[in-house]
Structure 1
Amino acid sequence: MWGVVLRQRQEGEEALHTIFREAFRRRRGLSGPGHDCARVNPPTGAPLLVSTDQLVLGVHAEEDVSPGQLARKLLRRTLSDLAAAGAQPWAVTWTIAAPREKGQAWMKRLARAFLEEAENFGCSVIGGDISNSPAVVLTCTALGKEGRRRNPGRGGAKAGDWLCVTGRLGGAVQSGRHLKPEPRLTEGRALVQRYRAKAMMDLSDGLARDLPRLLEASEVGAQIELDALPLSRGLKHNHEGWQAAVGEGEDYELLVALRPGQAKRALQDPLLKRIGFHIIGEITAERGLRWLLDAKEYTLPLVGWGHDWNGS
């Protein structure tokens, strides 16, 4: 009996490995999935930027979402980190851990959706791992090519810089946008290469949680005009609307600090105007984050989305 179970597991895993190997051969002539290590030619003359992200079913996505939706969200949220660095996606690795009850058909749909999405974004899947697990846990590591101007990171903002965001904030979970976030890759490269971004990050946990991370890295403070926040459709400029915009998370828009002159130029860029580009505040020398309404400080209790390991 054990031999039968073992053979079934091996056959199921080998079927997935075959999908990965065939996809790799279509894209590059070097060695990737199917070997202990991938052998690839990194892009010449450009540093590689690397980011890893994780997706846990029941935490980052609802239990009833399809394997295709899981695959797309995993890849897109990882590539969003490359967008925040102004990088061009080049290659990814990923891991799948899932209960046996999911079955081979579910696993194959997951794998094919991930490979298709990777091809859509122009990056090769060069390796990964597969395992049984009590829960569905997926990870992705993305490698991207840095442009002529280096990744600004989060630590370069200075007093007097303007804070800007792409797109609109809030309502991502309710609308379902969180299952197919749009990594702002082209916009991120433009903000670094054309407008010399001083500091930049993507908004995954909400402005109220993410902005303080940029401020801490840059050792500065900020003031945000609540009326300047670009709210998603259905949200109003009131207390509840602002709470949703800064606290819900899953927006995957870009938050960037620019010199005022560069910010004014960026506002006129057709690429950025197409998705929306908004000045929402200013970097201050005084540490801390202040929300302003009609030039007066305003209290917002929500702190954004985050994991919690506090026991009861």
Structure 2
Amino acid sequence: MDGLSHGEQTLHDIFRDSFVARRGLSGPGDDCARIQPPARSRLVLSCDQLVEGVHVESGTSARAMARKLLRRSLSDLAAAGASPWAASWTIAAPADRPLAWLKRLARAFVEEAAAFGCSVIGGDLSRAPALVLSCTLLGREGSRPAPGRGGARPGHWLVVTGRLGDAVRSGRHLRPEPRLVEGRILLERYRAAAMMDLSDGLAADLPRLCAASGVGAVVQLDAIPLAPPLRHDEAGWRSALGEGEDYELLAALRPAEARRALADPVLRRAGLHVIGDVVAGAGVRWEVDGRAIDPGAAGWSHDWR
């Protein structure tokens, strides 16, 4: 057995030996995993990537990469109001990446998954010119189906959890906190009409929700909760709207439900803030004291020639 085969088998052994058995799931080791969700339950699926040099800086630790990969994927489940159930993932790494580093990565990923009640049921390994990780998650919906982005209507209030901005500079993007509990509460208690996670920045993500719903929005810039040490000025708004990597939730709620949600003790601990209104029309208007403001932020986008 050559060095590559030995290293690959070592990683497969970590996946197999770390499997947390749950009803309806088979573990790694076969060509396919078998899944059998409970009767009458609905599943949601999300897929995400982490590329060294794009989503994290070169030299980021194996544990930090594993943590961010899983948690940014879990943030999508939070936006669906779903509970984590099963994960598969892939590792594509350069041949000169030490096996000891890859073992730390594998152990960190399965430990993170277990901490969120998620079984790792399979994946794939490969050499590649650059380090590219991917994660596919299966989540279980609760009593209400995932709201998606298309249910916002004129008159709804727009709310966000937590605080926005400064995630990259502060390093907070390496340790996101997926709002799984908050997402379920917003959906099941307060009937969120539309919901999504904020990964590319509010300036990029809110227009996507509006387009999906066929509506427009008016946002009060001074109502946006800013992460310290940001201030309510042009620089602070640019960071909060355009930097991305916040992994908070954006939701559209009926006004009566929004008022109730603002008093919810769990949502208050997380920080729930009304930032604006859904309106008829298209596009997003950013305001301060009733005046339209151009914040000069577009959000994150992958561009190709």
Range of TM-score over shorter length: over 0.9
**Could you tell me which residue of structure 2 aligns to residue 208 of structure 1?**
203
Asked whether 1:293 is paired with 2:282, we answer no
Tell me the distance in 2 between the aligned counterparts of 1:13 and 1:27: 26
How many Å apart are 1:29 and its aligned residue?
8.6
**Could you tell me which residue of structure 2 aligns to residue 82 of structure 1?**
77
Aligned residue for 1:45, secondary structure, equals coil
Contact 1:204-1:252 within 8 A present in 2 as well: yes
Asked whether 1:67 is paired with 2:62, we answer yes
Asked whether 1:303 is paired with 2:298, we answer yes
Tell me the distance in 2 between the aligned counterparts of 1:256 and 1:309: 30
In the TM superposition, structure 1's runs of 4+ consecutive aligned residues that sit over 4 Å from their partners are 25-30
Contact 1:71-1:110 within 8 A present in 2 as well: yes
Contact 1:43-1:145 within 8 A present in 2 as well: no
**Could you tell me which residue of structure 2 aligns to residue 179 of structure 1?**
174
Runs of 5+ consecutive residues of structure 2 not aligned to the other structure: none
Aligned CA distance change for structure 1 residues 40 and 7 (closer, same or farther; 3 Å):
same
Match of residue 142, structure 2, among 147, 151, 157: 147
If the length of structure 2 is used for normalisation, what is the TM-score? 0.98
Asked whether 1:267 is paired with 2:267, we answer no
**Could you tell me which residue of structure 2 aligns to residue 132 of structure 1?**
127
Match of residue 236, structure 1, among 231, 235, 240: 231
**Could you tell me which residue of structure 1 aligns to residue 102 of structure 2?**
107
Match of residue 7, structure 2, among 9, 12, 24: 12
Contact 2:24-2:37 within 8 A present in 1 as well: no
Counterpart of 1:136 in structure 2: which amino acid? L
**Could you tell me which residue of structure 2 aligns to residue 3 of structure 1?**
none
**Could you tell me which residue of structure 1 aligns to residue 36 of structure 2?**
41
How many Å apart are 1:106 and its aligned residue?
0.6
The CA deviation string for residues 67-93 of structure 1, in whole angstroms up to 9 with x for no partner, is 110000000000100000000000000
Tell me the distance in 2 between the aligned counterparts of 1:30 and 1:236: 48
Contact 1:97-1:136 within 8 A present in 2 as well: yes
Asked whether 1:54 is paired with 2:53, we answer no
Q: Which has the higher helix share?
A: 1
Tell me the distance in 2 between the aligned counterparts of 1:165 and 1:148: 22
How many Å apart are 1:41 and its aligned residue?
2.5
Aligned residue for 1:100, secondary structure, equals coil
Tell me the distance in 1 between the aligned counterparts of 2:293 and 2:280: 19
Contact 2:81-2:183 within 8 A present in 1 as well: yes
Tell me the distance in 1 between the aligned counterparts of 2:25 and 2:203: 44
Counterpart of 1:288 in structure 2: which amino acid? G
The CA deviation string for residues 171-214 of structure 1, in whole angstroms up to 9 with x for no partner, is 00111110011100000000000000000000000000000000
Runs of 5+ consecutive residues of structure 1 not aligned to the other structure: 1-5
Counterpart of 1:153 in structure 2: which amino acid? G
**Could you tell me which residue of structure 2 aligns to residue 222 of structure 1?**
217
How many Å apart are 1:39 and its aligned residue?
1.6
Tell me the distance in 2 between the aligned counterparts of 1:235 and 1:16: 42
Note the 1:153-192 alignment, pairs <5 A.
153-192=148-187
